[in-house]
Homo-oligomer: A and B are copies of this chain.
Amino acid sequence: MSSSRPVLFLFMRIVTSIPQMQRLAKRWQREGVSVGFVPTMGYLHRGHISLVERARKIAGSKGKVVVSIYVNPAQFGPNEDFSKYPRDLERDKKLCRTAKVDLLFVPSNDEMYPTSPEQPFSTFVVEETLSKTMEGESRPTHFRGVTTVVAKLLNIVGPNVAVFGAKDFQQATIIRRMVRDLNIPVRVVVAPTKREPDGLALSSRNKYLSPDERREANILWKSVQMARQMTHLSPNGTSAAKMETRVRRLIEAQPASRVDYVAFFDPESIHPVRVVKRGTQMALAVFIGRTRLIDNAAL
């Protein structure tokens, strides 16, 4: 039965109904099928595809890889880019088929967040420690939206493993904490950030950048590089305040760039550190024009 003929037709199932997805998930559980899950907001790029590949590696060729595409309104603030967040489902479908995704789950807002006047959606998952700083400080309701939708998606898809990108470092840490605290029976895997040749982290939001802004946008990665250099030159550590000033100065010297935050913290607890050493995690958020980009790395 061994054949080297290429598979000509890659069947990818597309499910939009939550009950249908849950029935399938239950069947897979009964059949002992290993399920790897990559939750996304769509407008997929190589970063997402690397998560799909990681999920496949873990689930195995007999396992199932599920990708969800859902632009989750609950994680956008009232003045954020929910309505203009880029969407291209046809393109995403093709990319998923090419990446050998088994099932694309594309739920509707109506099913995800029921709005009936008698029984409106009213339950949220909140993480109350790790989510107070950085993204949580700049976007106060963001992580509550993230933890709520991820809890929902994990309950719907019932995966053995869920793969998240390291670009959203704080998000990944919060999801790990949520999974531990709520005893969600899933393994959380965090896969490395993918970058453009000039170091810019891949993000669906890069699409917002004008050509000038795009050239300027690698300032986030340049900042990481500068911080790394400073850290490596001072084996006894550098004051976080001093590092922050240097990074801010570098970024604000760019015409279109404005720092939202620069943070140096312990990668496990997300506690800010006073002295930056090798292994300290750095994260930053920068507005390039009106586009807000984030990045992070271990120093």
Contact = CB atoms under 8 A, between A and B. Distances in A.
A28 to B, nearest CB: 10
Which interface residue of A120, A177, A180, A183 has the most chain B CB atoms within 10 A?
A: A183
Given A119-B268, A268-B118, A268-B119, A25 B185 contact: yes
Nearest to A144: B126
Interface residues of A, number: 38
Which interface residue of A118, A122, A151 has the most chain B CB atoms within 10 A?
A: A122
A239 interface: no
Which interface residue of A119, A120, A127, A180 has the most chain B CB atoms within 10 A?
A: A119
Interface in A125-156: 125-130, 147-148, 151-152, 155-156
A175 to B, nearest CB: 10
A58 B108 CA distance: 32
A61 interface: no
A129 B120 contact: yes
A123 interface: yes
A75 to B, nearest CB: 16
Contacts of A147: 123
Contact of A29 (B30, B180, B181): B30
B184 A155 contact: yes
A22 B155 contact: no
Contacts of A178: 123
Nearest to A116: B269
A125 B177 CA distance: 13
A148 B114 CA distance: 21
A32 B125 CA distance: 29
Contacts of A177: 119, 122-123
A26 interface: yes
A156 B128 contact: no
A123 B181 contact: yes
Interface of A: 18, 22, 25-26, 29-30, 32, 114, 118-130, 147-148, 151-152, 155-156, 158, 177-178, 180-185, 268-269
Name the 4 nearest CB pairs between A and B, nearest first.
A123-B181, A122-B129, A155-B183, A123-B178
